[in-house]
Structures are given as structure tokens and as C-alpha cells.
């Protein structure tokens, strides 16, 4: 369906795809804010552009609750994962200049011996980095560290934190901060400039973004500007209140270190849409057009942007950012000249990341007579879990069942109900609820034989998981129960031996040892049952409690032994 309502009226108001006039943006935004103030709002900054012109910008709320400091146009917010778009644009600029090809093996630019833990011989290409389908595993050690400024050697961090691969490149999408860091290092090597310097020169300075920073040490922005950064907050569900959190930074800084005012992020979004068949980001408009081409069909990824359909089947190219204490979002409708950006100093905030732009763009949920294939009914687990190594067992419980019902017209997943909108586009049935804050669209991924092997919800992807095979006797040695026992068995036996030797030497310890052993094995049995029951019931992992019990038992053993 081609929209005919996107007209600039005599009054210079603009009509959005959801038939909302720009004159009413303020009322719509504040209505959503007021609906959310109790538990999901601290401050928010939003901006909407249309065909090169800013048609609405607003900042409201507190940048610092304790000081009752009001957020304004000078307030700085982190972009979080929206920073990744800067990496992708940098790659496209170098691609346009002929300095690299998107099909290049990354070893071409980093060296044949740069990576030491590659699991497969298949080359990892630059386009794999942009598509997040390198299949690099998640790790137990996270890249987020305390501090608003961190001194990072990007190459050193990448080498020290190299993960293994859990599948062949191109098989599954698993959003990877590590992959974005590698992408940033390629920009560094190819341009002969530090990544942060490249972005400042070729994006920030070129666009006139004077209140923006990408350097993890913040050496590219003055302290007079930096002092306006909003304080980070998060909602504490246990205490049912919003609380200030620590500042955190990402060691893989190309993936999340950008910081700016709302107007600077809006300038960047406007350049990504282009005006009058040109953009200052690229020499040729054809490069911008290529940037929006689909590079991962089922997952609907376009060189690192995630495609969604909005009302009238308008293609939106989105990227969200969510870090400890902050949220950001960018949504681009290049075919219709619209762009939207929003930032907030609250983690998992939904006014700027879900509600407002969805209200403006409208949501896509056509009715039809199609039926859902039974082949999608299965168990799915996130791709961004630990697949290999010691910590693999702690993610074994993370799998979720997809059930089809209502005459194959709907299915449920993660507590939401989805309708079929068209072939391989499924829309949440609750989108009529206003303001809508839930998950939106699901698409299914397929292997080379055309079989369903996973699904994606924007940038969250899941792989098809044969849950029942883990319950068979043949697979007992791969089960969570066995692996849990394997974790603690050698340690337990070793400590038992130490205490047994002490009891032979000093019989007075025998009774105390017997009591402690009874308590110990009772607690171990309880923790084992909890771990296994958690796997079956599909609840949030209790591994922290289990490990706390184990550490407590170790302490008891050591006290009695020494």
C-alpha cells in the first residue's frame, strides 16, 4: 500500500504515516510521558525530522533527581548500542572509497594470526560483523565495567577477550559487542587513524555535531559540555522505585560509547535519511541507498540496521540502545523522509524507545486468512548465551516454548500472542493497547534446506532447540543435572579427603564433621533439585543462589579443616 497522506499542509504541519499532525506531537508525547511517570520515566529527549527539517524536538524530566536538575537541550545522553550505527557508517565510507570490500575476510585487515580461537575455517567477513552472524559466543566475562571514563587499547581488549564460535559464520544472528569492536578496529587499521578520531573527523565534524563524544576517555569533548551528562537510573522492582545507578562503560567501546545532546543525534539521523538526493555522510547517494539494502533476509538486517514494518507496510530501519542507566533509539523511514531519535537516562525505558515513535509511525497488522505452519512450534533459546566451556551449564535453562493455537491463526511466545501478518511476518496481538510498550514483530530464520532453525524479534534472536533430547537417557551426560554434579564433585571429594585425614589425627573433630557433612549434603541436594527443577519449569536461573550455597559450604569445610 502506497501512502498518499504524507503531505506538507499550508500551515506547514506534517502528517505522519499514522495520520498524526506535527502540531499535536507535543500533546501526544506529554500524554505518553504522564502515563509512564510512576515507574518508567526520569527524563526523555526526542526529535523528529522530515525531509531535512526538524519538525519537533522536546526534552522533559530530570537529568539529576537528587539535585532536581531539569533536563534541557544541553543535556547529554549516552547512545548505548545506537553507537553501533557509527561503526557501520564508517565501514560504508571506507567501502565507498575503495579501501575495503564488505566481502573481505577480516584477517585481510587484521592479520592471519590475529585471532587464536577460531573454531571453524570458514572466513569471517566484514559483512558478517555488520549482520552480527559471526557466531562468536557470549562469554561469562561481560564487557561493561564501572566508570564514566576508561582508558582502553582497543586491539589489546579484543585480543584478550576473544571468544570461540558456537556455529559456522552466517548460521545464526547473535548481537555481538565484540564483533562491533572488531569492526571498529578494522576502521582503525584501514584508515590509519584511531577509531574515535576517525568518527570525530568524518562524522561528527562533517555534520557539525559539536556536542558529541565517542572517545572512551572523553578527550574529544570539553569538560564544560560534559558536565551536562544526565545521571543514570534504573527501576528497582524489589523496592518498586527508581534508583540512581553507577556509571558504566563498555570496553568494546565502538559498540556503545557515543554520547551527545538530542539535537546532535537528530542531525546524524537526518543525514542517514538524506535530503534532496544527497547526504553529507557519503560522496554518492547510491552508497546511502545500498546501506538500506537487505543483507540478511530472514532476520531483515540492512548493514547493521534492523528492519520493521510500520503502518501501510512502510519499511523502518531501527536500532535500539540499552545500557545500565540509559536507553536510546533511532528509527528511520528513508522512503518517506522521516527520522526519529530518542534518549533517556533510565534503563529499559519505553516512552522514547517504543511508545512515541510507534504512535507516530503506526503499527502493521493486516488481517488475512493465512494459517501458521506447525513447523515453527518448538523450543527456542537465545543465541547470545554461553554455548561452550565451563559456564555453558548456567545457560541451559534459557529456553522457551512456542505454541500454536486458535486454528493455526496465532502462536504464543515469551508470554505474548502473535498473529500472522504475511509470510514470515508475525505481529504482536496486543498492539492496539495504548501506549504500546511490548515486543512488536517476529520473523523466522531458515537453514540452507529451508527448515526453520530460529526466530528474531528485532535484534533478539533465538535458535531452534531440541529440548526433549536433553531429557533422554542417551543425553544424560549433557543434562543440567549431570553438569551441575560435575561442577562440584571433584571439589567435594577433595575437601572430604582433607577433613577425613584431620579426623583420623584428631578424633574430636569426628562428631562435628558428621554434623557438618549432613548439613552440607542436604544443602547440596536442595541446590541440585532447584537447579534441575528450574530447567524444567523454565524459570529465571537460580545459579547465583546455588553458587552462593557452594561457596558457603567451601568456607565451612575450610574452617573445619584448618
Interval 161-181: pLDDT, tens: 999 999 999 999 999 999 999
pLDDT of residue 551: 58
Q: What is the mean pLDDT of the chain?
A: 86
pTM for the structure as a whole: 0.83
Which residues of the chain, if any, have pLDDT below 50? Answer: 1-11, 390, 473-474, 476-477, 532-544
Assign domain 77-361 to its CATH architecture. 3-Layer(aba) Sandwich (3.40)
pLDDT of residue 1: 39
Residue 340 CB burial class (10 angstroms; 0-12, 13-18, ≥19) = buried
The pLDDT tens digits for 341-374 are 999 999 999 999 999 999 999 999 898 888 999 8
pLDDT of residue 437: 86
pLDDT of residue 381: 92
pLDDT of residue 557: 57
pLDDT of residue 26: 97
pLDDT of residue 305: 98
Q: Which residues on adjacent β-strands are paired with residue 143?
A: none
Residue 174 CB burial class (10 angstroms; 0-12, 13-18, ≥19) = buried
pLDDT of residue 3: 40
Do 462 and 456 form a contact (C-beta atoms < 8 A)?
yes
Q: What Rg do the C-alpha atoms of the chain give, in angstroms?
A: 26
Distance CA 80, CA 67 (A): 24
Among all chains, which residue has been given the C-alpha cell 551528562?
229
Q: In whole angstroms, how far apart are CA 350 and each of 19, 304, 321, 493, 517?
A: 22, 22, 11, 50, 50
DSSP character for 363? B
C-alpha triplet 409, 357, 35: angle, nearest 5°: 90
Domain 374-465 has CATH 2.40.128: yes
Distance CA 199, CA 170 (A): 28
The pLDDT tens digits for 180-218 are 999 999 999 999 999 999 999 999 999 999 999 999 999
pLDDT of residue 483: 54
Q: In whole angstroms, how far apart are CA 530 and each of 131, 238, 475, 485, 536?
A: 38, 22, 20, 13, 10
pLDDT of residue 36: 81
Which string of DSSP letters, residue by residue, matches 387-430? -SSGGGGGGTT--EE-EEETTTTEEEETTEEEEEEETTEEEETT
Closest among 373, 362, 355, 358 to 420, alpha carbons compared: 373
Do 33 and 357 form a contact (C-beta atoms < 8 A)?
no
Torsion of the alpha carbons at 108, 111, 113 and 115, rounded to the nearest 10? -80
The pLDDT tens digits for 21-63 are 999 999 999 999 998 876 689 999 999 999 999 999 999 999 9
Amino acid at each position: 500500500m502506497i501512502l498518499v497522506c504524507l503531505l506538507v499542509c499550508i500551515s506547514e504541519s506534517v502528517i505522519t504515516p499514522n495520520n498524526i499532525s506535527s502540531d499535536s506531537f507535543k500533546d501526544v508525547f506529554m500524554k505518553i510521558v504522564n502515563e509512564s511517570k510512576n515507574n518508567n520515566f526520569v527524563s526523555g529527549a526526542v526529535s523528529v525530522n522530515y525531509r531535512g527539517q526538524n519538525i519537533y524536538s522536546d526534552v522533559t524530566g530530570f537529568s539529576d533527581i537528587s539535585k532536581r536538575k531539569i533536563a534541557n537541550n544541553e543535556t547529554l545522553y549516552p547512545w548505548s548500542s545506537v553507537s553501533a550505527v557509527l561503526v557501520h557508517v564508517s565501514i560504508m565510507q571506507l567501502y565507498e572509497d575503495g579501501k575495503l570490500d564488505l566481502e573481505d575476510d577480516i584477517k585481510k585487515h587484521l592479520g592471519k594470526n590475529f585471532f587464536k580461537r577460531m573454531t571453524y575455517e570458514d572466513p569471517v567477513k566484514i559483512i558478517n560483523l555488520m549482520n552480527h552472524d559471526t557466531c562468536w559466543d557470549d562469554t561469562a566475562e561481560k564487557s561493561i565495567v564501572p566508570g564514566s571514563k576508561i582508558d582502553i587499547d582497543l586491539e589489546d581488549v579484543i585480543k584478550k577477550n576473544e571468544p570461540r564460535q558456537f556455529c559456522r559464520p552466517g548460521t545464526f544472528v547473535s548481537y555481538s559487542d565484540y564483533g562491533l569492536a572488531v569492526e571498529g578496529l578494522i576502521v582503525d587499521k584501514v584508515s590509519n587513524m584511531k577509531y574515535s578520531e576517525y568518527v570525530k573527523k568524518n562524522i561528527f565534524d562533517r555534520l557539525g555535531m559539536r556536542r558529541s563524544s565517542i572517545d572512551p576517555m572523553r578527550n574529544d569533548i570539553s569538560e564544560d559540555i560534559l558536565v551536562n551528562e544526565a545521571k543514570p537510573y534504573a527501576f528497582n522492582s524489589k523496592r518498586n522505585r527508581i534508583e540512581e545507578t553507577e556509571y558504566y562503560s563498555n570496553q568494546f567501546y565502538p559498540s556503545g560509547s557515543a554520547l551527545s545532546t538530542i539535537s546532535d543525534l537528530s542531525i546524524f539521523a537526518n543525514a542517514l535519511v538524506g535530503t534532496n538526493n544527497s547526504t553529507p555522510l557519503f560522496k554518492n547517494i547510491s552508497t546511502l541507498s545500498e546501506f538500506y539494502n537487505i543483507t540478511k533476509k530472514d532476520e531483515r538486517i540492512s548493514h547493521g540496521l534492523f528492519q520493521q514494518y510500520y503502518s501501510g507496510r512502510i519499511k523502518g530501519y531501527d536500532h535500539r540502545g540499552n545500557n545500565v542507566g540509559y536507553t536510546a533509539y533511532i528509527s528511520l523511514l528513508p522512503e518517506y523522509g522521516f527520522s526519529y531519535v530518542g534518549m533517556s537516562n533510565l534503563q529499559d525505558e519505553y516512552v522514547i524507545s517504543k511508545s512515541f515513535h510507534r504512535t507516530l509511525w503506526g503499527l502493521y497488522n493486516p488481517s488475512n486468512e493465512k494459517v501458521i505452519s506447525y513447523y515453527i512450534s518448538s523450543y527456542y533459546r537465545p543465541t547470545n548465551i554461553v554455548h561452550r566451556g565451563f559456564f555453558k551449564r548456567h545457560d541451559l535453562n534459557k529456553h522457551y516454548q512456542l505454541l500454536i493455537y486458535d486454528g493455526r491463526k496465532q502462536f504464543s511466545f515469551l508470554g505474548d500472542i502473535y498473529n500472522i501478518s504475511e509470510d514470515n511476518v508475525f505481529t504482536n496481538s496486543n498492539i492496539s493497547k495504548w501506549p504500546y510498550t511490548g515486543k512488536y514483530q517476529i520473523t523466522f530464520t531458515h537453514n540452507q534446506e529451508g527448515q526453520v532453525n530460529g526466530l528474531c524479534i528485532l535484534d533478539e534472536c533465538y535458535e531452534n532447540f531440541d529440548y526433549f533430547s536433553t531429557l533422554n537417557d542417551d543425553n544424560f551426560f549433557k543434562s543440567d543435572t549431570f553438569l551441575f554434579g560435575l561442577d562440584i564433585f571433584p571439589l567435594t571429594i577433595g575437601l572430604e579427603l582433607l577433613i577425613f585425614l584431620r579426623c583420623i589425627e584428631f578424633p574430636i573433630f569426628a562428631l562435628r564433621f558428621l554434623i557438618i557433612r549432613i548439613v552440607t549434603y542436604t544443602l547440596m541436594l536442595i541446590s541440585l533439585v532447584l537447579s534441575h527443577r528450574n530447567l524444567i519449569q523454565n524459570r529465571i536461573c537460580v545459579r547465583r543462589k546455588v553458587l552462593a550455597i557452594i561457596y558457603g559450604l567451601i568456607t565451612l569445610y575450610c574452617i573445619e579443616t584448618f
